[in-house]
């Protein structure tokens, strides 16, 4: 256990006293967390200085990048005026970019061809997304069967540590679609938000993203190899709004195609057969390809937090370009407006892009993402 790593964990908990949900999960030595919890809160400006000092002694580029993110959070808490663009660069180690609307226009053209019917595109897209959904017992059954299938494929292609496991729970009234709570000891609890309908195309993505070979697989492998074998206790803490987030979300977003390849849509059809849910693999494939560049949330966050545009303007923009329903739009804006999560939406699209380019379809490179301490600077 390096001194810098232990100080990093302490600092993360000290900053988290001022910022809810900064620490996503922790399964490291309990005495570190207990020691900080017993302290009086420290001034954010002093915490920012601590981050800079610890970074000088850090023994890896990964740890230095994480400490830059913590320093940024502390400086923001201290009242420093940090622009939205600088926040992204300092938190995540990637440049902030506005996505040209031409990409959205091209996605709309592809959707026009992919979706059946002749009505307005937004209505057709929402009908496809909301029309054939799973809930209740069929939802539970399909989640369990998909999870078993993708776990088997993950074990065959990337291996799994002995003793890992996942438990599922179904919840409501959350700003996200699903969430992996990594518990340590190679275990995860995954919650699925049932507030919005889940169609088969999205559901199979959620299962792979949160479990195999996504978040759970990454956590389990890194606990097994980096924490237990190498003593890198900094890996026991998952820090939101950091380069670690970008790589983790990139792995999770890439996980479905790494597990299923070209079989994704046919396999999904097999799992939903008998549920009474209509599912067309060809339409689903075409819609997924069309919406690959329909990552509108980053622009919406930019509008609100960089340009100072009103929520009404952002709402109209999101509904126009993302073709979302009012309910989904309000749920997305709730996430984007949150002080912590406001820039987090870019981790999905940018993480996927960066990891996909770096992996380039190579299973061995994807396994490296699952098992090594790689940060965004290593992948760009």
Q: What is the pLDDT along the chain (380 residues), one digit of tens a residue?
A: 689 999 999 999 999 999 999 999 999 999 999 999 999 999 999 999 999 999 999 989 999 999 999 999 999 999 999 999 999 999 999 999 999 999 999 999 999 999 988 899 999 999 998 888 888 888 889 999 999 999 999 999 999 999 999 999 988 887 677 889 999 999 999 998 877 668 899 999 999 999 999 999 999 999 999 999 999 999 999 999 999 999 999 999 999 999 999 899 999 999 999 998 889 999 999 999 999 889 999 999 999 999 999 999 999 999 999 999 998 899 889 889 888 888 998 999 999 999 999 999 999 999 999 999 999 999 99
Whole-structure pTM value: 0.94
CA–CA distance, 258 with 22 (Å, rounded to integer): 29
- Block residue for tokens 């009404």: 312
Per-residue confidence (pLDDT) for residue 296, from 0 to 100: 95
DSSP state of 167: E
Inter-CA distances, 368 with 103, 158, 378, Å:
31, 10, 12
Measured CA distances, 98 to 61, 86, 109, 247, 299 (Å): 27, 13, 21, 20, 6
Please tell me the distance from the alpha carbon of residue 8 to that of residue 13, in angstroms, as a whole number.
9
Residue 288, both tokens: 């997924």
The sign of the dihedral angle between the CA atoms of 231, 237, 242, 248 is positive
Distance CA 276, CA 134 (A): 9
User: 30 burial class (0-12, 13-18, 19+ CB within 10 angstroms)?
Assistant: exposed
Q: Three-state DSSP class for 190? A: strand
């Amino acid at each position: 256990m390096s001194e810098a790593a232990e100080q990093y964990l302490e600092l993360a908990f000290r900053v988290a006293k001022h910022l809810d949900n900064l620490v996503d999960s922790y399964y490291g030595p309990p005495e570190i967390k207990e020691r900080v919890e017993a302290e009086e809160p420290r001034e954010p400006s002093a915490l920012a200085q601590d981050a800079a000092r610890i970074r000088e002694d850090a023994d890896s580029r990964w740890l230095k990048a994480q400490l830059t993110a913590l320093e940024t959070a502390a400086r923001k808490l201290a009242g420093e005026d940090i622009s939205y663009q600088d926040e992204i660069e300092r938190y995540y180690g990637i440049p902030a970019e506005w996505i040209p609307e031409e990409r959205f226009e091209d996605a709309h053209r592809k959707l026009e061809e992919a979706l059946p019917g002749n009505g307005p595109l937004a209505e057709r897209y929402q009908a496809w997304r909301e029309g054939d959904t799973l809930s209740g017992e069929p939802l539970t059954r399909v989640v369990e069967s998909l999870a078993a299938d993708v776990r088997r494929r993950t074990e065959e292609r990337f291996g799994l540590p002995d003793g890992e496991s996942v438990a599922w729970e179904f919840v409501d009234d959350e700003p996200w679609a699903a969430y992996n709570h990594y518990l340590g000891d190679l275990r995860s609890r995954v919650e699925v938000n049932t507030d919005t309908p889940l169609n088969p195309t999205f559901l199979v993505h959620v299962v792979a993203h949160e479990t195999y070979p996504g978040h759970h697989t990454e956590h389990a492998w890194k606990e097994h190899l980096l924490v237990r074998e190498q003593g890198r206790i900094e890996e026991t803490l998952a820090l939101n709004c950091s380069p670690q987030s970008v790589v983790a979300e990139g792995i999770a977003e890439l996980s479905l195609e790494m597990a299923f390849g070209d079989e994704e849509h046919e396999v999904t059809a097999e799992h939903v057969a008998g549920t009474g849910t209509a599912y067309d693999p060809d339409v689903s494939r075409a819609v997924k390809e069309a919406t690959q560049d329909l990552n509108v949330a980053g622009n919406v966050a930019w509008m609100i937090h960089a340009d100072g545009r009103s929520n009404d303007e952002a709402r109209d923009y999101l509904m126009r370009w993302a073709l979302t329903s009012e309910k989904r739009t309000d749920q997305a804006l709730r996430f984007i407006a949150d002080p912590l999560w406001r820039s987090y939406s870019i981790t999905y699209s940018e993480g996927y892009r960066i990891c996909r380019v770096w992996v380039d379809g190579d299973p061995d490179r994807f396994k490296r993402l699952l098992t090594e301490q790689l940060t965004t600077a290593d992948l760009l």
